[in-house]
Amino acid sequence: MNPLGEVSPPQGPTHLAAGHAPPTPPHDNPLDDIYHSAPPSPTAPNTLPAHPRAHEILSDLPSRQRALDTDAYREGLANNKGQYLQAGFDEGYALGASLGLRVGWILGVLQGFEAAWKGVDERVFEEVRGLRELAQKELGLQELCGKSG
């Protein structure tokens, strides 16, 4: 008798909880490899047919194996991503700082020359201004770090 006082079982399909597969029919050899990848005995030849027997229910083991492999792959990525990303960042940061320091020094010197020649000699001032503008273009971030070609 159920909590509603009904004696008969409910009508309609019976729902099983996820993860509980129905039992499979008995196999010819209970010690058989679940993936059918090895003979039942190390000394006896493999007498099992290559295709599943008609009376067996298809197993969800291959799909579960793929799911486990995928989960393991994702876990490996997650565990190692931080380590290698940090190492790449550290290397790039040091390289960028060194390069940025040199570029900044070059541009600073050219700006100093430009300011020094302003109002003194117009021809030299224009030449230094052209050099500074060219240096700013060629030493820009896109030029230094962009893809060549």
Q: Which has more pLDDT, 36 or 95?
A: 95
Mean local confidence (pLDDT), 22-38: 58
List the chain domain ranges: 62-145
Taking only the tens place, the pLDDT of each residue in 74-131 is 998 888 887 778 878 888 888 888 888 999 999 999 999 999 999 999 999 999 999 9
Mean local confidence (pLDDT), 14-23: 57
Cα gap 146→149, rounded to integer Å: 9
Q: Tally Cβ neighbours within 10 Å of residue 112.
A: 12
Residues in the chain: 149
Cα gap 36→51, rounded to integer Å: 10
Residue entry with tokens 């021809």: 123
Q: Which has more pLDDT, 142 or 13?
A: 142
